[in-house]
Structure 1
Amino acid sequence: MPILRLLAVLTACILGPLASADAAVDDPLKAEVIASVDAQAEALANLSDEIWGYAEIAFRESQSADALVRHAEAHGFAVTRGTGGIPTAFVAEYGSGKPVIGIMGEFDALPGLSQAAVPERSPLEEGAPGHGCGHNVFGAASLGAAIAIKELIESGELKGTIRYYGTPAEEKFFGKLWMIRDGAFEGVDVMMDWHPGDEIEASVQSSQALVDFLVEFDGQAAHAAADPWNGRSAGDALELYTTGINYYREHVKPTVRIHYHIMDAGKVVNVVPDYAKLWVRVRDRDRAGMDPVYKRVQAMAEGAAIMANVDYQVTLISGVHEILPNRTGGAALQANLEALGGIAYTEEEEAFAREIQAATGKPTVGMDAEVRPLRETAENPDGGSTDVGDVSYNVPTISLSAPIAGKDVPWHSWAVVASGGMSIGHKGLVYASKALAMTMVDLYENPDLVEAIKAEFRERKGDYVYEGIVPPGPPPLDFEQ
């Protein structure tokens, strides 16, 4: 064992691990990656906090991407930037040959969620973004796992290639779609993924397919009192359209979700509006169910335009597939979670979680620190969509959930921002990094496991031919946020 990792093991024994009980691990290489992550823990927490402070939204994550790139390069990775035509997307690689194991890292924030790392609502800057989905922790933890594997490849203890994918704009535009179109994931044998959550689980669940599009109406302005008969109201068309959507909700399957956000419905009350715009999102448990709803809701736009005597336009933004689960990979991850054991929290951290739960109207149960058993894969997934689904249709993907906030607190809220910016988030980071790195050791050491994961991937995908739900041309970098 190299001297630095030996020192890390000794340090961990003296000081105790940052995140977990680190139960007995038989594989010596797994013990080494655990020690590596412990040795990195402070630097990774600082990296996560730096990104938490930047809190940059989709396609604007320049400082966050730079921080991750600098960290990867400092640890010997070769970095390619601008993947898929996105300035903040990048791939960091080390090693050569097979297997090629990838790991994803996200780092975009959400608008309007600025929050201090305190257990009551307290914006750092009113109306500014915040990491309400924990992507500051996500990107840092994945990079820590990649570094642990890189060290083993560098020392000759493992053979193959490790790739870290810096994937921007997951919250809004689904940046992985353009990275896939650019061929960034070609040649990868297995992809590792995780997401911050409120429990420890090897995820073998799917997600919802989704499509985003704009609907715009163009009419004729007029004075709202003096001569409204000369106006053709785009606002009327918008209201007719959303009314149609809302009546349609009764007649879709229970798995369908339809959302819209009104972006422009006129500027002043005394002008018949000549322009209106809204963002529409359709979801279902898979793309096959989503597509007919998408077509129907598009057709409603034409009907609304006819009734209001205005013109209309529908523009695709992007869309994602549901996740293709991989239970073989999930079982390998589950074994490593059980080897690690749960996460040990201090009483101060438990109190912090309980205060947030009280502030958000949730039971004050604190943190969920135990490893969940591997669940059956549900026929209908819970709510939520991600562009990881599209990756999973191109590369077999293993997914993890690790806690960075108290049980059942509202996600995409200030509560997650607060927890993800302090030691609770740091412990979830370290735990996820260890679990991911341990599972990657399995992949490098066991070619039969890699082949079994690929075989399940081929069986689940069947004869389906992947086609991304993405318009032609470059990503919408200048899109109105």
Structure 2
Amino acid sequence: MKRIITSLIILASVLPTYAQKKVKINSQKKAVIQSVDDKSEALTQLSDKIWAFEEVAFQETQSAKALADYAEAQGFTVKRGVAGIPTAFTAEYGSGAPVIGILGEFDALPGLSQKTVPTKDPLNPGAPGHGCGHNLFGVASLGAATAIKELIEAGELEGTVRFYGTPAEEKYFGKLWMVREGLFDDVDVCMDWHPSAETKVSVQKGLALVDFIVEFEGQAAHASGDPWNGRSASDALELYTTGINYYREHIKPTVRIHYHIQDGGQVVNVVPDYSKIWTRVRDTNREGMEKVWKHVERIAEGAAIMADVDYKISLVSGVHEVLVNRTGGAALQSNLEYLGSISYTDEEQEFAKKIQEATQSEIVGIESKIEPMEETLENPMGGSTDVGDVSYVVPTIRLSATTAPKGTPWHSWAVVACGGMSIGHKGMLYAAKALAMTMVDLYEKEKLREKIKAEFKERKGDYVYKGIVPDGPPPIGNN
């Protein structure tokens, strides 16, 4: 009963925004809105299940199964374990062109488990949590795909809808192997969204990125008795990080370099013969990123020489910046303007303000106003995503939808808290409607698809896409 009441509150808070708009929409768009509303209870329950599963990269067994099972129950043809990844799948309905894809993520982040309360309070201390809102992500996309499926089934639309269950976005970038497998090669246009602190069309490209592991191997010895017989892998690691940190003064402001020491030695009285560090390099485009990447690899070589140890570099994976499509973004923008902003209850605003207070953010509550589509910046900052690689093989339209209050630190407990309650649920259902409405446009308007593809071709130019992914199978089980 509590869940039913919650769904009614969510539905009531969103529906009035439709009546406020005088823009006319066709029956197909009304139908997808109604479809999401009709399934709001089931979609919310599915999201909460994934929120509670809290599964990390390539271990999302329960989450992937829940989504795939739901898709099968809705009449989709599901292919599980695609691209050599047990938790990757596709769900398809219809036949022929156009083929419209939609992306759905569902992995959590380590160490962020949190109750649905506005102060830091782990649900399962030390366990993962959905600090990027991916429990909402996959469900909203599948809700949108289901609404389109119903129209194809009824003969209102023609073509194919394909949902992609894409795992491991937070660590290994699972879409890279799905792209390599050719799973996007026949898609006309792809839809994507992401939980956010604001609602808008996403027309910023983010950052290209590469991940690699550096391992140093030396000679163990007694740290006091005969240290002269040792060659310290830990020394090499420290020299490596020192080199990186001195290098920071001489890189462009758009560059980001991160590292995580995974093994620096085991005990204090032994000269360590092994060390290991995960390194990440980013920049606003692949070309700039690659230049820094190769220099950082030379720093590892120099550190090994100075410490008189051996070294090994192993590529993990890397992603492209997003190839923005403003033509598709404009179509999405018109649907956002029709839907209007999400409205919130006094209780939700109070929850949001307590989140902001706890995270030392400006206490302004939560908002979801629809601004005009912003300009695409040449050098934006922010995060990285394997959606970038999808966007280099198929035109991709992207959305951000409000699922947490303004100023909320992302990849934190605060996002987890919002993603398991009504603030996150509202953003999820809103995203499903906006995505489905835009997909209706894509099916109905051949000229729109042609313009989207023309922009894609122009922006890509003569660049030949090649994924930054090592040979061989995905690194399943390496967590």
TM-score by length of 2: 0.97
Deviation at 1:12, TM superposition (A): 9.2
* 1:172-203 C-alpha deviation (Å, 9 max, x unpaired): 00000000011111100000000000111011
Deviation at 1:383, TM superposition (A): 1.6
How far apart in 2 are the matches of 1:275 and 1:12?
58
How far apart in 2 are the matches of 1:335 and 1:15?
22
- Paired letter, 1:428: G
- Paired letter, 1:377: T
Matched with 1:399 is: 398
How far apart in 1 are the matches of 2:59 and 2:283?
29
Matched with 1:425 is: 424
* 1:253-306 C-alpha deviation (Å, 9 max, x unpaired): 111110000000000000000000000000000001011111100011111001
Aligned length: 470
Matched with 2:132 is: 133
Measured at CA, do residues 14 and 49 of structure 1 come closer, stay the same or move farther in structure 2, by a change above 3 Å?
closer
Matched with 2:56 is: 57
Matched with 1:447 is: 446
Report whether the alignment pairs 1:119 with 2:79. no
Deviation at 1:204, TM superposition (A): 1.0
Q: SS of 2:17's equivalent?
A: coil
Q: Is the 8 A contact 1:130 1:414 kept in 2?
A: yes
Q: SS of 1:373's equivalent?
A: coil
Matched with 2:292 is: 293
Matched with 2:237 is: 238
Measured at CA, do residues 12 and 458 of structure 1 come closer, stay the same or move farther in structure 2, by a change above 3 Å?
farther
Deviation at 1:18, TM superposition (A): 4.4
How far apart in 1 are the matches of 2:427 and 2:279?
34
Deviation at 1:478, TM superposition (A): 2.2
Unmatched 5+ residue regions in structure 2?
1-6
Q: SS of 2:117's equivalent?
A: coil
Matched with 1:316 is: 315
Q: Is the 8 A contact 1:138 1:195 kept in 2?
A: yes
Q: Is the 8 A contact 1:320 1:390 kept in 2?
A: yes
Q: SS of 1:16's equivalent?
A: helix
Q: SS of 2:438's equivalent?
A: helix
Unmatched 5+ residue regions in structure 1?
1-10
Deviation at 1:81, TM superposition (A): 1.0
How far apart in 1 are the matches of 2:69 and 2:200?
31
Q: SS of 2:258's equivalent?
A: strand
How far apart in 1 are the matches of 2:324 and 2:463?
15
Matched with 2:12 is: 16
Q: SS of 1:195's equivalent?
A: strand
Matched with 2:351 is: 352
Matched with 2:258 is: 259
Q: Is the 8 A contact 1:20 1:343 kept in 2?
A: no
Q: Once superposed, which parts of structure 1, at least 4 consecutive aligned residues long, lie more than 3 Å away?
A: 11-20
Matched with 2:78 is: 79
Q: Is the 8 A contact 2:10 2:422 kept in 1?
A: no
How far apart in 1 are the matches of 2:375 and 2:340?
21
* 1:433-453 C-alpha deviation (Å, 9 max, x unpaired): 000000000000000000000
- Paired letter, 1:257: R
The residue correspondences of 1:357-372 to structure 2 (distance < 5 A) are: 357-372=356-371
- Paired letter, 1:16: A
Deviation at 1:408, TM superposition (A): 1.1
- Between 368-377 and 130-139, report the one with greater CA deviation: 368-377
Q: SS of 2:306's equivalent?
A: helix
Deviation at 1:17, TM superposition (A): 5.6
Matched with 2:272 is: 273
Q: Is the 8 A contact 2:13 2:343 kept in 1?
A: no
Matched with 2:3 is: none
Q: SS of 1:277's equivalent?
A: strand
Report whether the alignment pairs 1:306 with 2:305. yes
Q: Is the 8 A contact 1:141 1:433 kept in 2?
A: yes
Q: Is the 8 A contact 1:18 1:38 kept in 2?
A: no
Q: SS of 2:129's equivalent?
A: coil
Q: Is the 8 A contact 1:19 1:430 kept in 2?
A: no
- Paired letter, 2:12: G
Measured at CA, do residues 198 and 398 of structure 1 come closer, stay the same or move farther in structure 2, by a change above 3 Å?
same
TM-score by length of 1: 0.96
Deviation at 1:13, TM superposition (A): 13
Q: Is the 8 A contact 1:217 1:305 kept in 2?
A: yes
Report whether the alignment pairs 1:206 with 2:200. no
- Paired letter, 1:164: F
Q: SS of 1:70's equivalent?
A: helix
How far apart in 2 are the matches of 1:118 and 1:108?
21
Measured at CA, do residues 104 and 322 of structure 1 come closer, stay the same or move farther in structure 2, by a change above 3 Å?
same
* 1:46-88 C-alpha deviation (Å, 9 max, x unpaired): 0000000001000000000000001000000000111110000
Q: SS of 2:36's equivalent?
A: helix
Deviation at 1:16, TM superposition (A): 3.2
